[in-house]
Homo-oligomer: A and B are copies of this chain.
Amino acid sequence: MRILAFGDSFVIGAGDPDHLGWIGRALAGRREITLYNLGVRRETSADIAARWRAEALPRMVDHEPMRIVFSFGCNDCNLEDGALRVPTAKSLLNARAMLTEAARLAPVLMVGPPPTAEPDVVVRAEELNEHLKVLAARLQAPFIDVFRPLAADGLWVREAADWDGAHPGAAGYQRMADLVAAHPAWRTFTGVD
Protein backbone atom coordinates (compact mmCIF):
# COMPACT_ATOMS: atom_id res chain seq x y z
CA MET A 1 0.00 0.00 0.00
CA ARG A 2 1.09 3.56 -0.67
CA ILE A 3 -0.18 6.50 1.36
CA LEU A 4 0.02 10.09 0.14
CA ALA A 5 -0.30 12.58 3.00
CA PHE A 6 -1.01 16.21 2.11
CA GLY A 7 -0.97 18.89 4.72
CA ASP A 8 1.00 21.38 6.75
CA SER A 9 3.95 21.45 9.12
CA PHE A 10 2.28 18.99 11.50
CA VAL A 11 2.09 16.44 8.69
CA ILE A 12 5.76 16.89 7.75
CA GLY A 13 6.60 16.77 11.46
CA ALA A 14 8.39 20.09 11.92
CA GLY A 15 10.26 20.01 15.22
CA ASP A 16 10.23 16.21 15.45
CA PRO A 17 13.84 15.18 16.18
CA ASP A 18 13.08 11.82 14.56
CA HIS A 19 11.72 13.32 11.30
CA LEU A 20 8.61 11.16 11.46
CA GLY A 21 5.72 13.43 12.43
CA TRP A 22 2.49 11.92 13.63
CA ILE A 23 1.88 10.04 10.40
CA GLY A 24 5.30 8.37 10.26
CA ARG A 25 4.80 7.33 13.87
CA ALA A 26 1.26 6.07 13.20
CA LEU A 27 2.68 3.74 10.53
CA ALA A 28 5.59 2.40 12.61
CA GLY A 29 6.42 -1.19 11.70
CA ARG A 30 4.19 -1.19 8.61
CA ARG A 31 6.99 -2.06 6.23
CA GLU A 32 4.63 -2.87 3.39
CA ILE A 33 3.37 0.73 3.36
CA THR A 34 5.28 3.41 1.46
CA LEU A 35 4.55 6.80 2.97
CA TYR A 36 4.78 9.86 0.75
CA ASN A 37 4.77 12.67 3.27
CA LEU A 38 3.77 15.80 1.38
CA GLY A 39 3.21 18.19 4.26
CA VAL A 40 4.57 21.70 3.71
CA ARG A 41 5.19 24.23 6.44
CA ARG A 42 2.96 27.30 6.64
CA GLU A 43 0.54 26.00 4.04
CA THR A 44 -3.16 26.80 4.24
CA SER A 45 -5.99 24.79 2.70
CA ALA A 46 -5.68 27.07 -0.35
CA ASP A 47 -1.97 26.30 -0.77
CA ILE A 48 -2.55 22.56 -0.48
CA ALA A 49 -5.50 22.70 -2.87
CA ALA A 50 -3.23 24.38 -5.43
CA ARG A 51 -0.56 21.66 -5.45
CA TRP A 52 -1.92 18.34 -4.17
CA ARG A 53 -3.00 16.96 -7.52
CA ALA A 54 0.26 17.71 -9.36
CA GLU A 55 2.21 16.00 -6.57
CA ALA A 56 -0.18 13.05 -6.36
CA LEU A 57 0.04 12.09 -10.03
CA PRO A 58 3.70 10.94 -10.23
CA ARG A 59 3.16 8.94 -7.02
CA MET A 60 0.01 7.08 -8.10
CA VAL A 61 0.32 3.52 -9.38
CA ASP A 62 -2.23 1.00 -10.57
CA HIS A 63 -0.55 -2.09 -9.21
CA GLU A 64 -0.76 -1.30 -5.48
CA PRO A 65 -3.57 0.01 -3.24
CA MET A 66 -3.32 3.80 -2.82
CA ARG A 67 -4.66 5.99 0.00
CA ILE A 68 -4.81 9.78 0.34
CA VAL A 69 -4.72 11.60 3.69
CA PHE A 70 -5.37 15.30 4.23
CA SER A 71 -4.66 17.26 7.39
CA PHE A 72 -4.70 21.04 7.60
CA GLY A 73 -6.48 23.94 9.23
CA CYS A 74 -4.24 25.70 11.75
CA ASN A 75 -2.58 27.93 9.17
CA ASP A 76 -5.95 29.00 7.80
CA CYS A 77 -6.69 30.32 11.32
CA ASN A 78 -3.62 32.54 11.55
CA LEU A 79 -3.95 36.27 11.02
CA GLU A 80 -2.01 38.08 8.32
CA ASP A 81 -2.31 41.87 8.13
CA GLY A 82 -5.22 41.66 10.55
CA ALA A 83 -7.28 39.19 8.48
CA LEU A 84 -7.61 35.42 8.61
CA ARG A 85 -5.24 33.83 6.12
CA VAL A 86 -8.22 31.84 4.85
CA PRO A 87 -11.79 32.68 5.94
CA THR A 88 -13.70 29.71 7.30
CA ALA A 89 -16.17 29.52 4.41
CA LYS A 90 -13.25 29.32 1.98
CA SER A 91 -11.43 26.71 4.10
CA LEU A 92 -14.51 24.53 3.87
CA LEU A 93 -14.82 25.02 0.12
CA ASN A 94 -11.15 24.04 -0.27
CA ALA A 95 -11.62 21.00 1.94
CA ARG A 96 -14.74 19.94 0.05
CA ALA A 97 -12.97 20.26 -3.30
CA MET A 98 -9.95 18.25 -2.15
CA LEU A 99 -11.90 15.49 -0.42
CA THR A 100 -14.27 15.14 -3.38
CA GLU A 101 -11.63 15.19 -6.11
CA ALA A 102 -9.14 12.98 -4.29
CA ALA A 103 -11.86 10.39 -3.63
CA ARG A 104 -12.01 9.84 -7.39
CA LEU A 105 -8.37 8.69 -7.28
CA ALA A 106 -8.21 6.67 -4.05
CA PRO A 107 -9.87 6.21 -0.65
CA VAL A 108 -9.50 9.43 1.33
CA LEU A 109 -9.28 10.20 5.06
CA MET A 110 -9.00 13.50 6.87
CA VAL A 111 -7.27 14.14 10.19
CA GLY A 112 -8.38 17.33 11.90
CA PRO A 113 -5.95 20.01 13.04
CA PRO A 114 -4.15 19.73 16.40
CA PRO A 115 -4.31 22.52 19.01
CA THR A 116 -1.58 25.15 19.25
CA ALA A 117 -0.07 27.12 22.11
CA GLU A 118 -1.24 30.44 20.60
CA PRO A 119 -4.41 31.50 22.49
CA ASP A 120 -6.39 33.19 19.66
CA VAL A 121 -5.46 30.72 16.99
CA VAL A 122 -6.45 27.76 19.12
CA VAL A 123 -10.03 29.04 19.54
CA ARG A 124 -10.45 29.49 15.80
CA ALA A 125 -8.78 26.16 15.05
CA GLU A 126 -11.20 24.36 17.35
CA GLU A 127 -14.13 25.94 15.52
CA LEU A 128 -12.69 25.03 12.14
CA ASN A 129 -12.07 21.49 13.36
CA GLU A 130 -15.79 21.18 14.17
CA HIS A 131 -16.80 22.54 10.77
CA LEU A 132 -14.42 20.17 8.98
CA LYS A 133 -15.81 17.24 10.93
CA VAL A 134 -19.37 18.07 9.86
CA LEU A 135 -18.26 18.54 6.26
CA ALA A 136 -16.42 15.22 6.20
CA ALA A 137 -19.47 13.44 7.62
CA ARG A 138 -21.62 14.99 4.90
CA LEU A 139 -19.15 13.79 2.25
CA GLN A 140 -18.94 10.37 3.94
CA ALA A 141 -15.17 10.80 4.30
CA PRO A 142 -13.67 9.32 7.47
CA PHE A 143 -12.47 12.06 9.83
CA ILE A 144 -10.24 11.66 12.87
CA ASP A 145 -10.66 14.34 15.51
CA VAL A 146 -7.52 14.81 17.59
CA PHE A 147 -8.18 18.34 18.79
CA ARG A 148 -9.80 17.82 22.17
CA PRO A 149 -7.76 14.84 23.32
CA LEU A 150 -4.52 16.69 22.51
CA ALA A 151 -5.73 19.92 24.10
CA ALA A 152 -7.02 18.17 27.24
CA ASP A 153 -3.89 16.11 27.64
CA GLY A 154 -1.65 19.18 27.66
CA LEU A 155 1.54 17.46 26.50
CA TRP A 156 1.23 18.65 22.88
CA VAL A 157 0.65 22.29 23.80
CA ARG A 158 3.34 22.21 26.49
CA GLU A 159 5.97 20.85 24.10
CA ALA A 160 4.91 23.38 21.46
CA ALA A 161 5.17 26.26 23.93
CA ASP A 162 8.66 25.08 24.88
CA TRP A 163 9.82 25.03 21.25
CA ASP A 164 8.34 27.55 18.79
CA GLY A 165 4.74 27.94 19.96
CA ALA A 166 3.32 25.64 17.30
CA HIS A 167 5.26 22.39 16.97
CA PRO A 168 5.69 19.74 19.63
CA GLY A 169 8.57 17.29 19.98
CA ALA A 170 8.79 13.53 19.81
CA ALA A 171 6.36 12.90 22.67
CA GLY A 172 3.66 15.23 21.33
CA TYR A 173 3.82 13.76 17.84
CA GLN A 174 3.75 10.28 19.34
CA ARG A 175 0.64 11.16 21.35
CA MET A 176 -1.13 12.31 18.18
CA ALA A 177 0.11 9.21 16.32
CA ASP A 178 -1.31 6.98 19.05
CA LEU A 179 -4.72 8.67 18.76
CA VAL A 180 -4.72 8.25 14.99
CA ALA A 181 -3.36 4.69 14.93
CA ALA A 182 -5.94 3.49 17.48
CA HIS A 183 -8.88 5.05 15.64
CA PRO A 184 -11.18 2.51 13.94
CA ALA A 185 -11.31 4.67 10.78
CA TRP A 186 -7.50 4.58 10.49
CA ARG A 187 -7.35 0.86 11.09
CA THR A 188 -9.87 0.20 8.34
CA PHE A 189 -8.26 2.75 6.00
CA THR A 190 -4.77 1.25 6.33
CA GLY A 191 -5.94 -2.33 6.21
CA VAL A 192 -5.35 -3.39 9.83
CA ASP A 193 -8.97 -4.45 10.33
A residues at B contact (CB < 8 Å): 2, 9, 12, 14-20, 24, 27-31, 33-37, 40-43, 47, 51, 54-55, 58-59, 61, 169
Complex interface: chain B residues within 8 A of A28 (CB): 17-19
Interface residues of chain A: helix, strand, loop or mixed (majority)? loop
Please tell me if the beta carbons of A47 and B51 are within 8 angstroms of each other in the complex.
no
Given contacts A40-B58, A58-B43, A58-B47, contact A19 B14 (CB under 8 A): no
Asked if B17 contacts A31 (CB within 8 A), the reply is yes
Which of A15, A43, A58, A59 has the most chain B CB atoms closer than 10 A to its own CB?
A58
Residues of B within 8 A of A34 (CB): 9, 12, 14, 41
Given the interface pairs A19-B20, A28-B19, the reply to whether A37 lies near B40 with Cβ below 8 Å is no
Q: Contacts of A17 on B, CB cut-off 8 Å? A: 28-31
- A51 adjacent to B40 (CB under 8 Å): no
Can you list 18 A-B contacts (CB < 8 A)?
A: A12-B35, A14-B34, A15-B31, A17-B28, A18-B29, A19-B20, A19-B24, A19-B27, A19-B30, A19-B33, A19-B35, A20-B24, A31-B169, A34-B41, A36-B40, A40-B58, A41-B59, A54-B54
